[in-house]
Amino acid sequence: MSFLKRLGIDTYMLLLLGTVALALLAPAQGFAAAILGHVTYWAVALLFFLYGAKLDSGAVRAGLTNWKLQGMTLAATYLMFPLVGVALSFVAGPLLGATVTLGLMFLAVLPSTVQSSIAFTSMSGGNVPAAICAASVSNLVGVVLTPLLVATLLHTGDGGIQLDAVIKIATQILLPFVVGQLARPWVGHHVRKHKMLTLIVDRGAILLIVFSAFSAGTVSGLWASLPLMSLIVLAIIVLGFLTITMSLMVWAGRAAGLPAADRAALFYCGSTKSLASGLPIATALFAPENLAAIVLPLMIYHMSQLLVCAFLSQKAAARLATAG
């Protein structure tokens, strides 16, 4: 297990893989699937309430003074990524099919990770306060901007955004988040104090969504219609996506003349995508029978970014230890 952790594979990633396997072998169907859908809905609502309750808007405002880093991170997340995603989708669309290509575009408009990008920045000796601000702002903006970008970029075809999806986003994600922000003066310290509760809700909601999505995919016959070669092609394309974005972040940090600590924050916050935010938003936007194929690129990207970032941050930490 210690060897796997050095590679970036932790217990949670193994649970994700196990949840996918369970959904393929024993998917939820009928009444069980309906109950699972209701439980998942309220788990996502609770998750975004906790996000709102623990997000310190004062810390975000203070971190915004580093305008160059914050601006570059937001531009990377909501401008660079969508442009690269459009280009890759145009090239790879005929190979992947409409639904999986939709998932590739959805991946491109998601916010940055929070916990992992901050942790990797810290391990690499980067600017942790700036990373906290960048990741927080990315997710704060993403609650509103991601659905809008999806509606703009994916309006045509099977993934078109309908009015009920907009209402679901408002009631399941935006409303709990706003209520959490309003309640933060009274409940924020309790949420921060009981971090394990937040972690359980965070990880548990994601596992529920993964099981529900991949169960629906299994029941609908998605995996039988998705050849192994298509999965291999998708993995190659997603890895290429990751390579392009990480390379652009390295280049942009150097071209802008950022100090090393800020370059580390830009790299980890600007090149990662949030599974924690992406899966709940996907459940509100897309039909259950298409959900598994749509989130598949995100699942591959998320696991790949963890492996690469864990490797790079550990190398950076070793260099810092040697220099110290």
- Per-residue model confidence as pLDDT tens digits over 200-253: 877 787 788 778 877 877 786 766 667 788 888 999 999 999 999 999 999 999
- Dump pLDDT digits (tens) for 69-122: 989 999 999 999 999 999 999 998 888 888 889 999 999 999 888 777 877 888
- CATH number for position 276: 1.20.1530.20
Give, in order, the Cα–Cα distances in Å from 224 to each of 24, 26, 100, 218, 219.
Answer: 11, 15, 14, 8, 10
Which long-range CB contacts under 8 A does 82-87 form with residues at least 24 apart?
Answer: 82/108, 82/109, 82/149, 82/153, 84/108, 84/241, 84/244, 84/245, 84/248, 85/109, 85/241, 86/153
- SS3 of residue 162 by DSSP: coil
pLDDT of residue 1: 55
Which residues are CB-contacts of 95 (< 8 A; sequence separation ≥ 6)?
230, 233, 237
Instruction: State the DSSP string of 287-316.
Output: -HHHHHHHHHHHHHHHHHHHHHHHHHHHHH
Return phi, psi of residue 163, to 5°.
-60, -40
On whether residue 86 sits in a domain, the answer given is yes
Number of independent structural domains in the chain: 1
Tell me whether residue 195 is in a domain: yes
Instruction: Look up tokens 């922000």; give the residue.
Output: 181
Mean pLDDT along residues 60-67: 68
Across the range 3-31, mean pLDDT stands at 76
103, amino acid identity: G
What's the CA gap between 266 and 51, in Å, rounded?
A: 22
CA 77 to chain centroid, in Å, comes to 11
User: Is the model's pLDDT at 282 over the cut of 80?
Assistant: yes
- Chain mean position to CA 225: 26
Higher pLDDT, 57 or 69: 69
Range of the domain at 309: 28-316
Which pLDDT value is given to residue 236?
94
Is 226 a domain residue? yes
* 264 pLDDT more than 60: yes
Alpha-carbon distance 130 to 132, whole Å? 5
Mean pLDDT, to the nearest integer, of 270-297? 84
Identify the band that residue 58 occupies on the pLDDT scale cut at 50, 70 and 90.
Answer: low
**pLDDT, tens digit, 9 for 90 and up, residues 291-304:** 888 888 998 898 88
DSSP string, 196-215: HHHHHHHHHHHHHHHHHHHH
Please tell me the number of Cα atoms within 13 Å of 310 on its side-chain side: 15
Sign of the alpha-carbon torsion through 256, 65, 149, 235 = positive
In a domain, 196, yes or no: yes
Residue 16 within a domain: no
In the predicted model, is pLDDT for residue 28 greater than 90?
no
Rounded-to-integer distance, Cα 158 and Cα 145, Å: 21
Q: Residue 257: left (phi > 0), alpha (psi -120 to 50), or beta? A: left
- In terms of Cβ atoms closer than 10 Å to its own Cβ (0-12, 13-18, 19+), residue 300 is buried
Structure tokens of 94? Answer: 């005929």
Contacts of 4 (CB under 8 A, 6+ apart): 10, 14
Task: Please state, for a pLDDT cut of 90, what percent of the chain lies above it.
Answer: 22
The pLDDT of 190-201, averaged and rounded, is 79
Helix (H, G, I), strand (E, B) or coil at 46: helix
Question: 260 lies in a domain?
Answer: yes
pTM for the predicted model, two decimal places: 0.74
Q: How far is CA 160 from CA 19, 99, 155, 165, 276, in A?
A: 28, 11, 4, 10, 23
pLDDT digits (tens, 9 = 90+) for 125-162: 888 778 878 887 887 788 778 878 877 766 544 444 45
49 contacts 171 by C-beta, under 8 angstroms = no
Q: Per the domain annotation, does 48 fall within a domain?
A: yes
* 182 in a structural domain: yes
